[in-house]
Amino acid sequence: MIRFFAKHPTAANLMMVMFLLAGMLTLPSIKRETFPEVKSFEVEIRVPYPGAAPKDVETGICKPLEDALDGISFIEEKRCQARTSLAIMTVKMLEAGDFSKFLDDVKSEVDAVDNFPDESEIPAVKELGRTQEVITVALTADLARPELKRLAEDVKQRMLQFSGIPLVEIQGFSSRQFQVQVTQHKLRELGLSLQDIAQVISNQDVDLPVGDVKTEFRDYQIRLSDERRSIAELSMLVVLRGSQGNEVLLGDIANIVDEFETESQQATLNNQPAAFLKIKKNTLDDSLRVLNRVKQFVQEEERRLPEGVSFYLTQDYTSIVSDRISLLSSNALQGLILVFLVMWLFFGSRYAFWVVMGLPVSFLASAFVLGNLGISINMLSMVALLLALGILMDDAIVISESIASQLRHGKSPMEAAIDGTKKVANGVFSSFLTTVSIFVGLLFIQGDIGQVLRVIPIVLISVIVVSLVEAFFILPHHLYHSLEHQKNTKMPVLRQKFEDWFENLRLKMDVTVSRLIGYRYLFVGSVIGVFVLSVSLLVSGVVKFAAFPDLEGDLVQARVLMPAGTSLHKTQSVVDHLVTSVKQVEDVLRQQYPMLETQPLIKSITVNFNENADAFETGPHLATISIDLLGAEQRPVRLNEFMSLWREKNGVVSSAQNISIKEPAIGPAGRAIYIRLFGDDLEELSEASYALQNWFSGYPGVNNVMDDLRPGKPEFTLQLKPGAFALGLDSKIIASQLRAAYQGSKVLESNVGLENIEVNVILARESRDSLADFDHFPVIHPSTGKVIPLSTVADISMTRSVSRIHRVNNQRTVTIYGDVDKELNNTNAILVDYQKQYLPTFEKQFPNVRVEMQGEAKNAKVTQDSMMRAFIMGLFVIFILLSVQFHSYIEPMIVMVNIPLALIGVIWGHWLMGLDITMPSMLGFVSLAGIVVNDSILLVIFAKNRVAEGFSVHDAAAKASHDRFRAVVLTSLTTIAGMAPLLFETSLQAQILIPLTTSIVFGIATSTVLVLFVVPCLYAILEDFGVVSTHHLEEED
């Protein structure tokens, strides 16, 4: 096949064109996103239990759900939040399970639960994690909130009809209601309960077919249509007949208003009331295409909107995608140019062009494969292409150098192309198998970080497979034509000087290798000593470990948590203080950086009340302030500096329970500090949590420390007095009337325009918000209509419980969260210090509390452990392949010992660059193993060939190093040149990629020394024990 494609005039070119066309036609259809999709494997169950306290929700909902789900296979974790009026159960599946079957099993078990409280509502079961945010469109107008909501609903419908915008969610409002508000005075006067009024409304709002009239000529349908779709129509409902025979209308006894169910759920943009249309995409949608469609929609819509209505694009999550794709593309182009220049120095322009041309051919052909596998264009898939550069160039360089060597030995260009390729074909194919062995194992790395990193081996394997085809069947044909063209071409002066210098360097290297072989034990021992020293840098913490590098975005949030029960007015005052302080930060930075005079640092300030992602609850005591900043590459200040200044200017707000100033999470690592406490006693858990929070808050750079156990609202507890039952009242009657009064009775739902509006009968606000009125609440006797004050039949006391209870795997828990400023401290170092210095004392102090690490630490450990298992399995497969190839159990060790030794360059590279070792760094090291093994295999094969030719083992080892010097150095130089632009990239967007690049660049530089100097010495050491020479004598016989 090699001979056929090399000689055939068109076959190689047709294959190349086919590869290029397949890739170019596939590229436009591949979706683009920041990170690969992370499958959540989680199912959420929501069960409303109106009016119930968290402890009642825990007993009545959480525990029955836990019992029902205990028998389902592949459950990794069950988490239940018992909130006021609501239970949220999240069930996470192990990655080994079948998620469709798992979801069906959960639904079946939930449907089978028959011991929920009667007052609870129907459970809702759904799969989590199927959408991703793209951008938010803010709609501002000088309108009342109901009119603004109607306008937002209208815009939403037009958006959904505008193709290419998959999901739109309105934020800033709760559900609209027609509230029928009745005062206590009217209830006493009429002798009616709110339930009675609700029943009357429900009975008179009818829209039903009631039969047919069939005549000789035509059939008629009879329909009773008496629906109430407006406040005016509701007002005309007859509630009861008066003593004089007159009708009492609903409008006569109630105030009917158009309000939102939760008034505290509102939003502002730059201090103006706003409606937010949050644009989301499904996992199959392309982020940038969705963004472009949103921009087109806004441009068209602005022409038709009335005066005073404005659109504003904010919280753009796609800017990260476009910026990083642009960054990697420009760095890849720079790297390609540098690779070509290096190749030109060694081979000349035409020859170098066809060697380098293998890169775009392989990349585009692999794009066709990856597109059909559903792999997206994202940060990591593009990094994988950069990683592949070294491996691809290694194969191409080995073949091209072998062909050039054959030509120097006097063969014709055609024979040189064929024989040169065949000579190294076995070694190249063996290198291919060993490289794939490393990467196949990485397909099975686990955890959320593992799901993200898993795309790298998929891309690498695809590219390597395609490149092998290109190297064997396309490259020799093109190099043959290049050699034909260069036969009579004089070498440029610069290249001639370089060739002379390089040949002189190779001669010096021969002398060095021969001397080192003479001192082989000392030299190898020294290398091992350097390896031990390098590992000690990591173990001692001089070079630190972090799960994932920080990502620099353009959004900062302040998440406000006030004590439960705080009014919206008080929360607004704290928000105003935070907004004022952030504007002071902008003023300070404007004086420090004059460029901010013309380019404002803060693009927009949005506020969402009733929302806090850290609090896992809702209410007027919550708010989130989002600051949309100038793009990372345009602004002169880092996010950490901005957040630190904001905390400083904000100071301590004593009325707030917690204010977290942070960047919204990007990436899969999880919270830096995330510790879960298990126990039965909530008071003991609270004390333990407080102790841990104090400990972690003492570390520099640790901020936003809080837990998820918080006091609830003050609570009135009622207990019936002894004489209540004699009056014909019981707990259920009183509870149902109080529930109707203070929570309301939802009796109707009407579709008004694009909105679904509920009719809710409820006690008038002035009565609901009065403590005196609560004491004298009119309990209506169900039989006589007699009015009995609440305080005469019930004892009322004041208590305060927790706002929610968390349970994990059937146990109560409290979780401590915190963030770490990576510029001031290291998460791993903090957690190690905590485990050594404080955890033993903590466990003695709280013996009934069990501690479990979660978040970044757990995610990193899961991924790290699975990566290590995969790496070891890959090494074992490599050993098998090499043992079969070398007919030896010992000689493969020469090749494999260089893999851990390459860690020397990785560790020192991170130390020199001032970086932490991260999971991407480790993946870079694993990828580096492929190049190290490839070069080592070929050097051992060359040495064995020299031994077979009659050289002594010492001379054969030195000669093999001489023969492979040019190819090994060229592989290293091209890999380093290809990745150097990214290594020295100053862009903030590149910071996540630099640790991985550091592993490759410094590791490949170290491996050059290992392959050229250590491998010959190890080969000679094996000969000292008689392994190599005996083996070859037997093989030749």
Q: Are residues 254 and 182 in contact, defined by beta-carbon separation less than 8 angstroms?
A: yes
User: In this structure, what DSSP letter does residue 619 have?
Assistant: S
Who contacts 343 (Cβ-Cβ below 8 Å, separation ≥6)? 351, 352, 355, 356, 970, 974
pLDDT for res 1033: 29
For residue 668, is pLDDT > 70? no
Residues in contact with 525: Cβ distance below 8 Å, sequence separation at least 6, in sequence order: none
Cα 348 from Cα 344, distance rounded (Å): 4
- Structure-model confidence comparison of residues 98 and 39, the more confident one: 98
Tokens of 21: 């066309």
The domain locations on the chain are 1-30+321-484+501-548+860-1025, 40-128, 176-260+713-802
C-beta of residue 395 within 8 angstroms of C-beta of residue 428: yes
Chain mean position to CA 100: 22
pLDDT single digits (tens) 972-1013: 888 888 888 888 887 766 777 788 889 988 998 888 888 889
Region 629-641: mean pLDDT is 84
Position 621: which residue type?
Answer: H
Residues 933 and 877: beta-carbon distance below 8 Å: no
How far apart CA 400 and CA 393 sit, in angstroms, is 10
- Residue 585 pLDDT exceeds 90: yes
Q: What is the pLDDT of residues 1-38, one digit of tens each?
A: 888 888 888 998 999 999 999 999 998 888 887 777 77
- Could you tell me if 29 and 59 are in contact, meaning their C-beta atoms sit under 8 angstroms apart? no
* Domain 1-30+321-484+501-548+860-1025 belongs in CATH node 3.30.930.10: no
Range 900-915 average pLDDT: 90
d(CA 869, CA 761): 62
Is the pLDDT at 246 greater than 80? The verdict is no
Residue with tokens 């009934």: 848
pLDDT average, residue stretch 1019-1024 = 86
The closest alpha carbon to 77, from 92, 97, 63, belongs to 92
Q: What is the mean pLDDT of the chain?
A: 85
Q: How confident is the model at residue 937 (pLDDT cuts 50, 70, 90)?
A: confident
Nearest in space to 661 (alpha carbons), one of 572, 727, 719, 582: 582
Q: How confident is the model at residue 210 (pLDDT cuts 50, 70, 90)?
A: confident
> Across residues 265-288, what is the average pLDDT?
89
The larger pLDDT score, comparing residue 445 to residue 651, is at 651
Residue 1032 pLDDT > 60: no
Buried b / exposed e along 738-755 (16+ C-beta atoms within 10 A)? bbbbeebbbbbebeeeee
Model confidence at 1035: pLDDT above 60: no
pLDDT in tens, 290-340: 999 999 999 988 888 778 888 999 888 887 777 777 777 788 788 888 888
Two tokens, residue 991: 């910071």
> Is the alpha carbon torsion for 282, 285, 288, 292 positive or negative?
negative
CATH class of domain segment(s) 176-260+713-802? alpha beta
Identify whether the C-beta of residue 452 lies closer than 8 Å to the C-beta of residue 668: yes
Closest residue by Cα to residue 51 from 618, 801, 739: 739
Do residues 323 and 632 lie in contact, with contact meaning Cβ atoms separated by under 8 Å?
yes
Check residue 670 and give its pLDDT: 67
Q: What does the radius of gyration of the chain's CA atoms come to, in whole angstroms?
A: 36
- Cα gap 675→816, rounded to integer Å: 5
- pLDDT confidence of residue 252: 87
**Regarding predicted confidence, which is higher, 528 or 350?**
528
The two structure tokens encoding residue 325? 């794709």
pLDDT range class, residue 397, cuts 50, 70, 90: confident
Give the pLDDT confidence score for residue 496 in this predicted structure.
Answer: 84
**Region 392-415 average pLDDT:** 82
Residue 69's pLDDT is 93
Torsions phi, psi of 603, nearest 5?
A: -80, -40
Give the pLDDT score at 32. Answer: 82
Out of 372-376, 453-457, 483-487, 899-903, pick the least confident.
483-487
Lowest mean pLDDT among 34-38, 199-203, 406-410, 820-824: 34-38
How confident is the model over 133-138, as a mean pLDDT?
90
Which of 493, 132, 392 is CA-nearest to residue 280? 132
* pTM over 0.85, yes/no: no
At a CB cut-off of 8 Å and minimum separation 6, what does 727 contact?
Answer: 781, 788, 793
pLDDT-based confidence at residue 565 (cuts at 50, 70, 90): confident
Helix axes 475-486, 349-373, angle to 10 degrees: 170
The confidence score (pLDDT) of residue 488 equals: 64
Q: What does the alpha-carbon distance between residue 35 and residue 1019 come to, in Å, rounded to a whole number? A: 44
Tokens of 974: 């091209």
713 has pLDDT over 80: no
Least confident of 156-170, 655-669, 818-832, 968-982: 655-669
Give CA torsion, residues 382, 388, 389, 393, to 10 deg: -160
**Dist. CA 483–CA 403, nearest whole Å:** 9
Give me the amino acid identity at 241. Answer: R
CB atoms within 10 A of CB 209: 10
Region for 232 from its dihedrals, namely left if φ exceeds 0, alpha if ψ lies in -120 to 50, beta otherwise: alpha
What average pLDDT does this structure show over 418-442?
83
Residue 787: band (very low, low, confident or very high) from pLDDT cuts 50, 70, 90: confident
Band of the pLDDT at 348, cuts 50, 70, 90? confident
In sequence order, what are the residues at sequence separation of 6 or more whose Cβ sits closer than 8 angstroms to the Cβ of residue 358?
392, 396, 467, 470, 471, 474, 475
Q: What is the pLDDT of residue 523?
A: 93
Domain 40-128: which CATH class? alpha beta
Asked if the model's pLDDT at residue 831 lies above 80, the reply is: yes
Q: Answer for the pair 734, 793: CB distance below 8 angstroms, yes or no.
A: yes
- Looking at residue 579, its amino acid is V
Q: Is 216 exposed, middle or buried (0-12, 13-18, 19+ CB in 10 A)?
A: exposed
